[in-house]
């Protein structure tokens, strides 16, 4: 029995000395050796079980001999695993070595989204004119979104705005005008504000999106006239596009302004001579505006016999499409990096 133990130890040590040079194969060989000699069904374990066949006086010496052999083999296998782990780590570190003589990898800098760029530019223009910036909730009550703005429930103008209703009395705001009503309700004139933000309408094509961005402006004070509105918007267009830009007002209809106008600007592409962008007219419609309807002022607690005002509203996507010559509004929301990389800010 003692000879058997000695032979098993020599066989195990010889197997460890003859490990393959390929690291993956060596790891598999060590695992196989461990199972073969030290596993539950291994050779030394089988010898321990055979002690029951020995005389009682021989068992202690034989048990000590087998335990000593187990300790030797375990130490030898652990040593082989440690050497193998060191080789694997060295190979990995060698493969991951950084060559500091190679040129560095450039990181492509990000840029602001074109909608953000245009919104920031529009806001800066009006802030420089003394307007204050105000923001409001995107989920609005029917009262602020419609009724305070002279659009009661039966009003035909509701058909002009395809609305997302959360409940019968809660909507996703169709414009940023509700914030104007909130400000007028809380503050007495003079008021000079712009309110930017996301708005929502159930509309989707090349020039309309169910989510879009607006900036609306409001001025309420004594002796406010249509000339003030025209001068303000003319200065905005000249600053936003070019000093040669011309503007004109056309009669229109909005329930919250009276009179109401559509504002056109001379085509930024052809300068007014006529092209495909302006459909040969030389003009591009850019925003809607008008004198604040006295009913709106009264709804908000402002005396319309003392105060008047003007309001305007523009779509940021439309301004960006004109400014950058973008034909389809959906490009803003597709997040194509090739498209977005064209804008720097």
Strand pairing class (132-133; 191-200)? parallel
pLDDT on residue 56: 76
The residues, ordered by sequence, that sit 6+ positions from 245 with a Cβ below 8 Å of its Cβ are 237, 238, 265, 266, 268
What mean pLDDT do residues 141-157 have? 87
The pLDDT tens digits for 246-258 are: 999 999 999 999 9
* Other C-beta atoms lying within 10 Å of the C-beta of residue 88: 14
- Bigger pLDDT: 81 vs 42: 81
Q: What does the pLDDT read at residue 196?
A: 95
Residue scoring higher pLDDT (91 or 174):
174
What does the pLDDT average to over 118-127? 96
The pLDDT score that the predictor gives to residue 174 is 92
Q: What is the DSSP string of 51-115?
A: GGGS-TTTHHHHHHHHHHHHHHHHHHHHHHHHHHHHHHHHHHHHHT---TTSPPPPPPP----HH
- 312 strand-pairing partners: 217, 289
Q: What is the model's pLDDT at position 256?
A: 93
- Supply the pLDDT for residue 229: 97
pLDDT value of residue 157: 67
Phi, psi of 81 (to 5 degrees): -65, -40
Tens digit of pLDDT for each residue in 179-230?
A: 999 999 999 999 999 999 999 988 777 667 889 999 999 999 999 999 999 9
1-16 burial, b at 16+ Cβ within 10 Å, e below that, comes to eeeebeebbeebbebb
Q: Does residue 310 register a pLDDT over 90?
A: yes
CA distance from start to end of the chain: 86
Q: What pLDDT was estimated at residue 118?
A: 94
- Average model confidence (pLDDT) for the chain? 88
* Average confidence (pLDDT) over 73-82: 87
| CATH class of domain segment(s) 114-340 | alpha beta
Candidate ranges 160-169, 225-234, 336-345; pick with highest mean pLDDT: 225-234
Q: Predicted confidence band at 59 (pLDDT cuts at 50, 70, 90)?
A: confident
Residue 2 has pLDDT above 80, yes or no: no
Are the CB atoms for 207 and 329 separated by under 8 Å? yes
Tokens of 202: 């159930």
Name the residue among 142, 119, 299 with its Cα closest to residue 220.
Answer: 299
Nearest in space to 122 (alpha carbons), one of 194, 46, 63: 194
């Amino acid at each position: 029995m003692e000879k058997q133990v000695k032979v098993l130890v020599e066989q195990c040590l010889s197997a460890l000395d003859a490990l393959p040079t390929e690291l993956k194969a060596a790891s598999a060989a060590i695992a196989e050796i461990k199972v073969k000699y030290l596993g539950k069904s291994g050779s030394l374990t089988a010898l321990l079980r055979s002690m029951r066949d020995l005389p009682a006086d021989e068992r202690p010496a034989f048990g000590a001999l087998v335990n000593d052999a187990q300790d030797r083999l375990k130490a030898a296998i652990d040593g082989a695993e440690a050497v193998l782990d060191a080789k694997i780590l060295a190979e990995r570190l060698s493969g991951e070595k950084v060559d500091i003589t190679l040129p560095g990898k450039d990181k492509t800098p990000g840029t602001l989204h074109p909608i953000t760029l245009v919104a920031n530019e529009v806001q800066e223009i009006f802030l420089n004119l003394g307007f204050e910036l105000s923001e409001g909730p995107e989920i609005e009550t029917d009262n602020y979104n419609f009724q305070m703005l002279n659009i009661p429930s039966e009003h035909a103008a509701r058909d002009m705005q395809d609305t997302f209703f959360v409940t019968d009395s809660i909507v996703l705001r169709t414009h940023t005008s509700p914030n104007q009503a909130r400000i007028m309700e809380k503050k007495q004139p003079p008021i000079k504000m712009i309110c930017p933000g996301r708005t929502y309408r159930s509309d989707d094509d090349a020039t309309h999106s169910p989510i879009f961005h607006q900036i609306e402006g409001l001025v309420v004070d004594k002796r406010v006239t249509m000339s003030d509105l025209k001068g303000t918007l003319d200065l905005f267009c000249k600053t936003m596009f070019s000093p040669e830009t011309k503007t004109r007002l056309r009669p229109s209809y909005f329930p919250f302004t009276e009179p109401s106008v559509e504002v056109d600007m001379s085509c930024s592409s052809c300068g007014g001579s006529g092209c495909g962008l302006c459909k040969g007219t030389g003009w591009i419609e850019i925003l809607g505006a008008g004198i604040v309807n006295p009913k709106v002022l009264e709804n908000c607690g402002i005396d319309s016999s003392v105060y008047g005002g003007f309001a305007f509203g523009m779509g940021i996507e439309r301004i960006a499409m004109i400014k950058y010559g973008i034909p389809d509004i959906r490009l803003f929301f597709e997040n194509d990096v090739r498209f977005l990389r064209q804008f720097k800010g």
